Amino acid sequence: MNKFDPRIDDLVMETRTQWDPSVGNLSDEDRRWVSKAIHEQPQLASQIAYERSHTGFTRTITVKLDDIQRLYVSRR
């Protein structure tokens, strides 16, 4: 699955972040902020994968440049 699913997302117990090459070189501080922010608003992510785990699901978001732009727009 590549889209946000609120039913499954309610069962997420672990999160992971991957970085698309379009993101370029971000500082560690920026990566931490983007990762935290995108997982707080996963509906803004364009690529999400859910994997079943023993206790629920793991959400992996692959952050793309467009996702970062949506995060900044949502902060306004």
Q: How many structural domains are present in the chain?
A: 1
36 in any annotated domain: yes
- For the entire predicted model, the pTM comes to 0.90
Percent composition of the chain: helix, strand, coil (DSSP 3-state, to 5): 45, 25, 30
57 in any annotated domain: yes
d(CA 76, CA 73): 6
Domain extent, residue 35, equals 6-74
1 in any annotated domain: no
Q: What is the pLDDT of residues 8-44, one digit of tens each?
A: 999 999 999 999 999 989 999 999 999 999 999 999 9
In contact, 17 and 61? CB cutoff 8 Å? yes
Mean pLDDT of the chain: 93
